[in-house]
């Protein structure tokens, strides 16, 4: 693979600049959910165990190049100390004399947290001068923030060019999982793409029809594909202006030999609310005054068959309006099937996306998946086949 990991670095006595994502929720000065801190803990522990000195670089919120007191990273120090079980020093700048002094004073076993990188306008501009100042603070650069890797910023891209660079453990796990799903996957590969709109997932669909064997199109976006085939979808969520694009995607799939699975039956209702009166109909039988809110059981059976015949699954976007029961049924059933096959060692399952992760958690399936990406935008851009600047910069 085109990147180094911590295993490739000699860390003893080295100052390691670690780019992390610690955008944790804070209320009244206290961290209310430390998941993101937990996820970088193995990287910090590994660096310390090998005698390295971790110096953390991170952004927090969107201060837009100015010092914004409410977006200081300082309140995170107690939570970092608790999770890392280490003393965490803090410096109120991520560059300059104060940061240089803080790094020089750092003792083995300790961790140093530098202030929000986005307090400097140069961060989001991928500014070479800012990166050069940050590079003075370390001997090695380690990026453990996959979720920020789709942005070429000074602390994710320019800095990586100036020091020996590697991926942290979380980044490594993410890249390995993604590589196993779309890079060199075990075939057949099925992709499930759902969610609200085709327009937000065009590039994703375009890339997937080239790479996967079966593409399941579900959720609201399936309505646009049904409409493209001349089917009346009533009051369903549908981007009628996108129907030519949907037709193009179907044609491209025919060219590449990708099988497209669209809903054959649907669950319709007249109201968008929990427990709304509903009925299951053929996909081409939605009444003019009703809307499609979920896929039906025949569709779920077809998706289950596709998953059973597959070795790899990549999933983004729920199959229905999963937030309101009973329109979570198709998403839950497909999620349970994928979880069952994964547990049996028959499927590699990778999923990502804000609502997708919520839906898989709600279905109780998330823990059984091979990998769940919480990286949001970076995950989507990677699924679209884009090169992520923060990953490319770790190249050997
Ligand atoms: P992700 O955040 O995982 O990328 P999206 O944001 O693309 O997923 O899609 C999730 C949204 O799609 C959810 O709010 C869900 O209610 C909506 N959705 C799925 N199917 C339908 C449907 N048939 N009609 C309306 N909304 C739908
Ligand atoms: Mg979403």
Would you tell me how many other CB atoms lie within 10 Å of the CB of residue 161? 13
267: tokens are 């669950």
Ligand nearest to the CA of 352: 1
Question: CA-to-CA distance for 346 and 341, rounded, in angstroms?
Answer: 5
Residue whose pair of structure tokens reads 């003075």 in the numeric block: 136
Name which of 171, 180, 169, 170 is nearest 369 in CA terms: 180
pTM of the model: 0.92
Q: What pLDDT was estimated at residue 2?
A: 83
Cβ–Cβ under 8 Å, residues 317 and 356: yes
- Give the integer Cα–Cα distance in Å for 264 and 297: 9
Q: Whole-angstrom Cα distance, residue 217 to residue 205?
A: 9
Ligand nearest to the CA of 379: 1
Q: How far apart are CA 144 and CA 340, in angstroms?
A: 30
* Sign (positive or negative) of CA dihedral 147, 150, 154, 156: positive
Q: Does ligand 1 come within 6 angstroms of the Cβ of 318?
A: yes
What structural domains does the chain harbor?
A: 6-169 (3.40.50.1260), 185-383 (3.40.50.1260)
- Bridge partners of residue 192, in order along the sequence: 216, 315
Outline where DSSP puts E strands in the chain.
Answer: 15-19, 26-27, 30-31, 53-57, 88-91, 111-114, 140-143, 165-167, 189-193, 214-217, 259-261, 265-269, 278-282, 291-295, 312-316, 348-352, 371-373
Ligand 1 in reach of 263 Cβ (< 6 A): no
Among 204, 267, 317, 319, residue to substitute to test ligand 1 (most atoms within 8 Å of Cβ) = 317
Q: Whose CA is nearest to atom 8 of ligand 1?
A: 317
Ligand 2 centre to CA of 221 (Å) is 13
Q: What is the pLDDT of residues 28-85, one digit of tens each?
A: 999 999 999 999 999 999 999 999 999 999 999 999 999 999 999 999 999 999 999 9
The residues that are catalytic are 36, 197, 354, 377
* First and final C-alpha spacing in the chain: 9
Please identify every residue whose CB atom is under 5 Å from ligand 2, which is an ion: 354-355
196 Cβ below 6 A of ligand 1: yes
- Ligand that lies nearest to the alpha carbon of residue 291, given by its number in the listed order: 1
CA gap 2, 394 in Å, rounded: 8
Per DSSP, the three-state class of 98 is helix
CB of 219 sitting under 6 A from ligand 1: yes
CB count within 10 Å of CB 257 equals 8
Report the C-alpha gap between 54 and 47 in whole angstroms. Answer: 7
Closest-CA residue, ligand 1 atom 7, reads 195
Written as tens digits, the pLDDT of the chain (396 aa) is 589 999 999 999 999 999 999 999 999 999 999 999 999 999 999 999 999 999 999 999 999 999 999 999 999 999 999 999 999 999 999 999 999 999 999 999 999 999 999 999 999 999 999 999 999 999 999 999 999 999 999 999 999 999 999 999 999 999 999 999 988 899 999 999 999 988 889 889 999 999 999 999 999 999 999 999 999 999 999 999 999 999 999 999 999 999 999 999 999 999 999 999 999 999 999 999 999 999 999 999 999 999 999 999 999 999 999 999 999 999 999 999 999 999 999 999 999 999 999 999 999 999 999 999 989 899 999 999 999 999 999 986
């Amino acid at each position: 693979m085109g990147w180094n990991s911590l295993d490739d670095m000699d860390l003893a006595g080295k100052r390691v600049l670690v780019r992390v994502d610690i955008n944790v929720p804070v209320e009244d000065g206290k961290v209310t959910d430390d998941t993101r801190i937990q996820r970088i803990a193995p990287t910090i522990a590994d660096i310390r165990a090998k005698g390295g000195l971790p110096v953390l670089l991170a952004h927090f919120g969107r201060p837009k190049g100015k010092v914004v007191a409410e977006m200081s990273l300082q309140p995170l120090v107690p939570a970092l100390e608790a999770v890392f079980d280490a003393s965490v020093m803090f410096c109120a700048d991520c560059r300059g004399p104060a940061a240089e002094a803080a790094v020089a004073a750092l003792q083995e076993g300790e961790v140093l947290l530098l202030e929000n990188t986005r307090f400097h306008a140069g961060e989001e501009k991928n500014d070479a001068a800012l990166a050069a100042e940050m590079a003075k603070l370390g001997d090695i650069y380690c990026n453990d923030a996959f979720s920020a890797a789709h942005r070429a910023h000074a602390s994710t891209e320019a800095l990586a060019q100036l020091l020996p660079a590697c991926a942290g453990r979380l980044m490594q796990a993410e890249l390995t999982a993604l590589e196993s799903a779309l890079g060199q996957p075990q075939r057949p590969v099925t992709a499930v793409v759902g969610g609200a709109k085709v327009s937000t997932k065009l590039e994703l669909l375009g890339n997937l029809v080239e790479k996967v064997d079966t593409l399941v199109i579900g959720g609201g976006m399936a309505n646009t594909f049904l409409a493209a085939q001349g089917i009346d979808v009533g009051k369903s969520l549908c981007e009628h202006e996108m129907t030519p694009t949907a037709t193009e995607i179907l044609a491209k799939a025919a060219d590449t030999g990708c099988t497209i699975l669209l809903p054959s039956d649907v669950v319709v209702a007249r109201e968008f609310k929990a427990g709304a009166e509903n009925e299951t109909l053929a996909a081409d039988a939605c009444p003019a005054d009703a809307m499609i809110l979920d896929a039906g059981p025949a569709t779920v059976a077809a998706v289950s068959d596709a998953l059973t015949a597959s070795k790899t699954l990549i999933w983004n976007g729920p199959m229905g309006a999963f937030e309101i029961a009973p329109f979570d049924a198709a998403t839950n059933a497909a999620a349970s099937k994928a979880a069952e096959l994964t547990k049996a060692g028959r499927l590699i399952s990778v999923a990502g996306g804000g609502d997708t992760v919520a839906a898989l958690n709600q279905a109780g399936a998330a823990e059984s998946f091979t990998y769940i990406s919480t990286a949001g935008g970076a995950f989507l851009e990677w699924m679209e086949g884009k090169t992520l600047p923060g990953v490319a910069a770790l190249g050997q």
